[in-house]
Amino acid sequence: MGEVKRENAAEALLARHGAPRQGSEWAQAARRAARGRVLAMGAAGRRDEYWRYTNPAALNANDAPDVEILKLDETPVFDGVEKLLITFVDGVYAPEHSDDLSGEGLEISTLAEALGADIHWAQDVFGVLESNGQTPVKRPFAALNTATAGQGVVIRATGKVSKPVALRYCREKTTSEALIHHVIRVESGADLTVLENGAGAARLNTVMEVDVAEGGAFHHLRAQGRDHARLATTAIFARLAAESHFKSFTLTVNGKLTRNEVVIDIDGDNTKASVAGASLGDGDFLHDDTIFITHDAVNCESRQVFKKVLKNGATGVFQGKILVQPDAQKTDGYQISQGLLLDEDSNFLAKPELEIYADDVACSHGSTCGAVDENAMFYLMSRGVPRKQAQNMMILAFLDDAIQEIESETLAEDIRARLLGWTERH
Amino acid sequence: MFEIKNLKASLADEDKQILKGMNLKVGPGEVHAIMGPNGSGKSTTSYVAAGKGGYVVDEGEVLLNGENLLDMEPDERAAAGLFLAFQYPVEIPGVGNMTFLRTAVNSQRKMRGEEELNAAQFLKLVREKAKSLKIDADMLKRPVNVGFSGGEKKRNEILQMAMLEPKMCILDETDSGLDVDAMKLVSEGVNALRDGKRSFLVITHYQRLLDHIKPDVVHIMADGRIIKTGGPELALEVEHNGYADLLNEVA
């Protein structure tokens, strides 16, 4: 079958998810605008510059795949952490499995409630950050999400938040499709941690728009579901004001296709942003991190640290960009992407990009790809460590640079335990 | 105890035989030294015995208490009681020295069917041994050999040896890169492990190490085999006259 015409594919995507839901006039307008964006840009295709390594066909296809639900008897990730839990089942908010939507320093409501009301700050964020993030790179799945998603939460952190907000995505139907859209505002001086975990659906599309005000701090930690054949496309759009901090870390083990996009606009001076990820893939696995960080302020620091362990034909993709605008002097940009290939069949595809228009900046980037160091393996084994265990030690050591980007040592230890579990199972 | 029998080994990547019929026998509690010019196959002997990749054994056996080590994986050789102190200890970023050591000790105990050490037992033991080698707590916490000085790396090797309590220790140019004080410290560490049963094979270029670790037997190696065996006086002879006379003798 030949490729469907772009416009038709975009229309098909919109049609699949029905007409936009009810909401106040501003929300309707934002959704209509997003709909217009989808139609104007068309569906993602292999000829697009940022879809060369990842085939979007399964994400565009009419039907979500039938994905077996993984039954686990282990303790779920973040289980030991005190948190405000919000559960979605097959992409639908499940109040009976969630805590009350209230907490110290927090205002939380569902997306449906918020879009039906006149929340001033939300009008400045919903669909706005996503729309800003469409230039210069098109992100049709994110626009589709804004246009059609009816589920999600809207969070405003107004002060020191005592515990993390945990978004849990459960699955009950094997063929479910979900679009979830979160809108987050971290006010000046507030500090918010958001945790996400679970596969959520056979095909999941999430968007998180995060607006961090001056001096605010946002920490994001995510463990994507382990169901083997699941598909996911996610996008985070962040706008960072002066003196703010932003950190996002994603752990991905398994999944047939995962596309994680992070788009950050650094708008205020003396800001720090870090995006990191550790992924482990065995077999039919494609994991794509596509990052775009724009420095548009003075004396800011950004870090991208991505590590992928791949075996049995798994593929890892990294497309990371640092754009430094003419006035963004004293920028410190760092980017590293590394693939550890455990056999000859696996692939790591990396496209690091730097585009710098300011003259007083320090930007460094590196990308490496290789096998486990045989000398180190021999050293470990010569002390009595069996081959498999020695390799696991090397894998965990390889991933640890990414784990170290996590602010909380407790959460970092939780992630390390998951990684160890994976290495022991594979 | 430890015996190398007619060992012939080549580099896997090129058709070049390095060991050409090596024979050696170390009895319980004995210290043997191997000296020899560069390229004679000293380090290769240690690598082949420990099971490093990149070599092909063409012929022969390496026996430890009657078991042929060449049939085993490197970790199994370690559990059987072999220890190789590396000439160039490998740096492993991201792997904590303490984690590594505990994993190694317990892996060996497990393979031998012994009970594993718990965290408290292990900590007590490692602190005690580290102290005598002047290894501080900071060195134990750091990643394996990363940022260690030459002397620290060699002391770390001896600490591993002390913790693993092997039956047979091969020291591959442990004196290289050490100053006089460090060499003394390392030698004391080795001598402390001499208990009348544990055996040692010390590979070195220089006689001075043998002033500290006194050998029972000295072998001279050239072109992939032992060409002469004698007492400690043989090392002194080499120190004064070099290898030329010995090589001419056998030629």
Q: Provide the mean pLDDT of chain A.
A: 94
Predicted pLDDT at B251: 64
More confident residue, A6 or A331: A331
Asked whether the predicted pLDDT for residue A357 surpasses 90, the reply is yes
Q: Report long-range pairs for B128-134 (Cβ below 8 Å, ≥24 apart).
A: B129/B159, B129/B162, B129/B163, B130/B159, B132/B188, B132/B189, B132/B192, B133/B158, B133/B159, B133/B162, B133/B185, B133/B189, B134/B185
Asked whether the predicted pLDDT for residue B142 surpasses 60, the reply is yes
B86 vs A contacts (CB less than 8 Å): 379, 382
Asked whether the predicted pLDDT for residue A104 surpasses 80, the reply is yes
Asked whether the predicted pLDDT for residue A20 surpasses 70, the reply is no
Asked whether the predicted pLDDT for residue A366 surpasses 60, the reply is yes
Strands laid side by side in the B55-64 sheet? B16-26, B2-11, B55-64, B67-68
Average pLDDT over residues A22-27: 88
Confidence (pTM) = 0.91
Predicted pLDDT at A168: 96
Interface of B with A (CB under 8 A): 50-53, 73-75, 77-79, 83-84, 86, 89-90, 92-95, 99-101, 103-105, 107-108, 111, 143-144, 160, 164
B247: left (phi over 0), alpha (psi -120 to 50) or beta: alpha
Predicted pLDDT at A271: 98
Asked whether the predicted pLDDT for residue A18 surpasses 80, the reply is no
Q: Predicted confidence band at B177 (pLDDT cuts at 50, 70, 90)?
A: confident
Which amino acid is residue B224, in one-letter code? G
Tens-digit pLDDT profile for residues B146-174:
989 888 899 999 999 999 999 999 999 98
Suggest the residue from B107, B108, B110, B163 to mutate for an interface test with chain A (most A CBs closer than 10 A): B107
Predicted pLDDT at B46: 96
More confident residue, B175 or A258: A258
Suggest the residue from B46, B76, B86, B100 to mutate for an interface test with chain A (most A CBs closer than 10 A): B100
Predicted pLDDT at B182: 86
Asked if A401's CB is within 8 angstroms of B103's CB, the reply is no
Q: How far is B41 from chain A (nearest CA, A)?
A: 19
Tens-digit pLDDT profile for residues A284-307:
999 999 999 999 999 999 999 999
Residue with tokens 């589709």: A144
Q: Predicted confidence band at A160 (pLDDT cuts at 50, 70, 90)?
A: confident
Tens-digit pLDDT profile for residues B87-100:
999 999 888 899 99
Average pLDDT over residues A171-200: 96
Lowest mean per-residue pLDDT among A18-27, A151-160, B203-212: A18-27
pLDDT > 90 in chain B, percent: 68
Predicted pLDDT at B141: 86
Token reading at B122: 């292990």
- How far, in Å, are A99, B36, B66 from residue B226 at the CA level? 77, 9, 22
Tens-digit pLDDT profile for residues A385-417:
999 999 999 999 999 999 999 999 999 999 998
Predicted pLDDT at A339: 98
Question: DSSP per residue over B79-140, as a string?
Answer: HHTEEEE-SSPPPEEEEEHHHHHHHHHHHHHHHTTPPPPPHHHHHHHHHHHHHHTT--HHHH
Suggest the residue from B55, B75, B126 to mutate for an interface test with chain A (most A CBs closer than 10 A): B75
For chain A, give every domain's residue range.
6-371
Predicted pLDDT at A2: 46
Q: Predicted confidence band at B217 (pLDDT cuts at 50, 70, 90)?
A: very high
Predicted pLDDT at A309: 97
Which amino acid is residue B216, in one-letter code? D
Q: How far is A378 from chain B (nearest CA, A)?
A: 6
SS3 (DSSP) at B207: coil
ipTM of the complex: 0.95
Asked whether the predicted pLDDT for residue A363 surpasses 80, the reply is yes
Q: Provide the mean pLDDT of chain B.
A: 92
Average pLDDT over residues B65-75: 95
Asked whether the predicted pLDDT for residue A163 surpasses 60, the reply is yes
Asked whether the predicted pLDDT for residue A421 surpasses 70, the reply is yes
Sketch out chain B's domains with CATH numbers: 2-250 (3.40.50.300)
Average pLDDT over residues A173-185: 96
Average pLDDT over residues B204-208: 87
Predicted pLDDT at A1: 42
Lowest mean per-residue pLDDT among A9-18, A157-166, A337-346, A357-366: A9-18
In this complex, which of A376, A382, A386 lies closest to B92 when CB atoms are compared? A376
Asked whether the predicted pLDDT for residue A118 surpasses 50, the reply is yes
